[in-house]
Amino acid sequence: MRALIPTGRTGHLVDIGEVESPQTAPDEALVRITHFSLNRPDFLYLSNPGTSYRPGIDAVGVVERAATAGGPTPGSRVALHLPAGGAAAQYAAVPARRLVPVPDTVSCELAAALPLAGLVARRLLARAGALDGRTILATGMSGGVGQFVVQLAAAEGARITAVAATSEPWHHLPDLGAAVTHDIETLADGSFDIVLDSVAGPLGSTAARKLAPGGLFLWFGQASSRPLTLDFFTLFEGGQGLTLHHFVYLAADDHQDADDLAALLELAAQGRLRAEIGHRAHWSHTAALLEEMAHGRLRGKAVLTVD
């Protein structure tokens, strides 16, 4: 069968090539993949020299052969989340417990865009606690995760402000429920209950100063490739404290991934969650879109079709 395989070439990280067809275990279904979305981990793993990583963390497909242990039946349209990748292929062997039926009113594109980004957003905000009436400052919201963070936070009654450079694809964020600022220094110090930071570097470090006394700083990425540098003498001036937490999205088990993804798909079916899909393309365009991702030019999510 055909699948995306790493090339090891900078600037053109993947090609469509021939690989062995998957063999299913009793608890696995054979799924014919129709759509998959790109995530930043795909780019990061493929950029490692000598990698054998095959992309495809999030996908949608049709069950060709059900698992003997149960699960969705043949012909079912399903969404799947595979943290180890490999779904960017014509077929994938997937544990039945990781397959989530896609509601009839949810498009394949939306279902493929949801899993990783939606799971991160849902669990990040759950870690933040009750949100009604609280103020949130967020960095790195112009990509796939940010759009779901904004929608879910606004739906729970939070007032969220996103920091975005004018060169970033930020124009969809106000429609989703966020205020947008291009200069974090215009925001008053100590004016936010929660900071969500996925950029780190100088921007994330400055964001920490915007926390109100006793605020919560949730760090979940380092897109700038530069570390946080926090001046605790300044942050604790006057005796106030803060909580600093490194957030990791990974679930305790496959069942939690499936349950959370089912909840996200239900919100989408109700019209309460949508995806900003900035790029729809045939999977032969994957390498070019990964380059766009590397330079921060992808708006929302990129969803590709498998023929």
Count of CB atoms situated within 10 Å of the CB of 240: 13
- Domains of the chain, each with CATH number or no CATH: 2-114+275-305 (3.90.180.10), 117-246 (3.40.50.720)
Place of tokens 């090539």: 17
Strands (E), 109-158: 135-139
Distance from C-alpha of 125 to C-alpha of 285, rounded to nearest angstrom: 33
pTM above 0.85, yes or no: yes
pLDDT in tens, the chain (307 residues): 999 999 989 889 999 999 999 999 999 999 999 999 999 899 999 999 999 999 999 999 999 999 998 899 999 999 999 999 999 999 999 999 999 999 999 999 999 999 999 999 999 999 999 999 999 999 988 878 899 999 999 999 999 999 998 888 888 899 989 999 999 999 998 899 999 998 888 998 899 889 988 899 998 887 777 888 877 777 776 556 778 777 777 766 667 899 999 999 999 999 999 998 989 999 999 999 999 988 878 777 899 999 8
